[in-house]
């Protein structure tokens, strides 16, 4: 059985907060004891806040390129400037949306910059946006090491965001950084019980778990920015976001 358990009682996270400490406190408050093989899944937002990835739009001076793209997309040029700074390539755009390759390697809308739910450190809240963590995988690894040291448990930690998709509507949770769990699980070479090679050879296990976790975090008014996963069906190992990124030259939809 796979259980996705909401971790409640996490306070609002502020820049400089010790996120691992907040998580450990919340686990205690929820009377949850970590076990070997558990995975903690964290919403990107609390990691970004703890790392003070806030930007004040009032301090952003848009480039010519940003002004041009902002006109074409009917977006705030300062926001577009930040999107471009956070991206390595613009794939597509239309009014309201810019689809980019984020500097971290994945494809997403608006470079994952959040303008909806940002209580900035000071001043007019409408001026503040929140960028993705500088290096989510490094963040996940640091949190994992800290929590493992305190609890003496072998666990995985994953940071997720919600992404739109080609072809299908709505957003789904996806991994943007992982520590101590596989991104892909390779079933190539396995035979099914009839002796045939399996058609589906590589499962994006971390992304499937990210979607499951996102479902439980789901409704923002419930304030569940982290979940505990018990019963992940594959062996934990060192893993990386890189496993989940399709090389550009092998992508039919770039």
Closest residue by Cα to residue 180 from 13, 71, 38, 35:
38
Provide Rg for the chain, Cα atoms.
19
Q: In this chain, which stretch among 19-27, 50-58, 68-76, 111-119 interacts with its own copies, using CB under 8 A?
A: 111-119
Question: Going residue by residue from 132 to 171, which x/- string records binding to its own copies, judged by CB under 8 A?
Answer: ------------------------------x--xxxxxxx
Q: Is 193 exposed, middle or buried (0-12, 13-18, 19+ CB in 10 A)?
A: exposed
Q: Is 185 in the site for its own copies (CB under 8 A)?
A: yes
65 vs 254 by CB, closer to its own copies:
254
Q: Phi and psi (nearest 5°) for 66?
A: -65, -40
Q: Please enumerate in sequence order all residues whose Cβ is within 8 A of that of 81, keeping only pairs 6 or more positions apart, or say none.
A: 60, 61, 62, 63, 66
Distant-in-sequence, close-in-space partners of 5: CB < 8 Å, separation ≥ 6: 32, 216, 227, 228, 229, 230
Question: Quick check: 65 binds its own copies (CB under 8 A)?
Answer: no
* Number of chain positions touching its own copies (CB under 8 A): 73
- Taking Cα atoms as reference points, which of 1, 30, 4 lies closest to residue 158? 4
Residue 114 near its own copies by CB under 8 A:
yes
Residue 186's DSSP bridge partners are: 202
CA distance 8 to 30: 7
**Nearer Cβ to its own copies, position 86 or 114?**
114
Q: Considering the rule CB under 8 A, would residue 59 count as an interface residue with its own copies?
A: no
Q: Which is nearer to its own copies, 59 or 221 (CB)?
A: 221
Pick the piece of the chain touching its own copies (CB under 8 A) from 50-58, 74-82, 137-145, 211-219: 211-219
Q: State the Cα–Cα distance between residues 15 and 210, nearest whole angstrom.
A: 25
205 binds its own copies per the rule CB under 8 A: yes
Listed ranges 53-61, 72-80, 147-155, 244-252: which one lies at the site for its own copies (CB under 8 A): 244-252
Which is closer to its own copies, CB of 203 or CB of 236? Answer: 203
The region of 54-62, 92-100, 133-141, 151-159 touching its own copies under the rule CB under 8 A is 92-100
Which is closer to its own copies, CB of 150 or CB of 165? 165
Which is nearer to its own copies, 94 or 150 (by Cβ)? Answer: 94
* Rounded CA separation 95/15 (Å): 32
Find the binder of its own copies among 208, 225, 226, 239 (CB under 8 A).
208
Q: Is 39 in the site for its own copies (CB under 8 A)?
A: no
Residue 249 near its own copies by CB under 8 A: no
Are the C-beta atoms of residues 55 and 104 closer than 8 Å to each other?
Answer: no
* 253 binds its own copies per the rule CB under 8 A: yes
């Amino acid at each position: 059985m796979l259980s996705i358990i909401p971790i409640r009682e996490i306070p609002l996270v502020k820049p400089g907060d010790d996120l691992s400490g907040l998580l450990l406190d919340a686990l205690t408050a929820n009377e949850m004891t970590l076990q070997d093989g558990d995975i903690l899944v964290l919403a990107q937002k609390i990691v970004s806040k703890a790392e003070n990835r806030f930007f004040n739009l009032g301090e952003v001076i848009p480039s010519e390129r940003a002004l041009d793209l902002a006109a074409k997309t009917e977006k705030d040029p300062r926001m577009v400037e930040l999107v471009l700074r956070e991206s390595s390539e613009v794939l597509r755009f239309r009014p309201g949306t810019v689809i980019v390759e984020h500097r971290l390697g994945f494809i997403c809308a608006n470079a994952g910059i959040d303008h909806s739910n940002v209580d900035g450190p000071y001043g007019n809240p409408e001026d503040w946006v929140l960028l993705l963590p500088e290096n989510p995988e490094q963040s996940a690894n640091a949190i994992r090491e800290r929590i493992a040291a305190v609890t003496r448990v072998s666990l995985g930690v994953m940071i997720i965001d919600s992404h739109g998709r080609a072809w299908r509507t709505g957003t789904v949770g996806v991994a943007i950084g992982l520590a101590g769990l596989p991104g892909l699980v390779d079933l190539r070479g396995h035979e099914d019980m009839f002796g045939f090679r399996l058609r589906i050879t590589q499962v994006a296990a971390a992304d499937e778990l990210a979607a499951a976790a996102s479902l439980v975090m789901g409704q923002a008014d419930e304030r569940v920015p982290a979940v505990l996963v018990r019963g992940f069906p594959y062996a934990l190992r060192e893993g990386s976001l890189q496993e989940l990124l399709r090389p550009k030259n092998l992508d039919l939809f770039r």
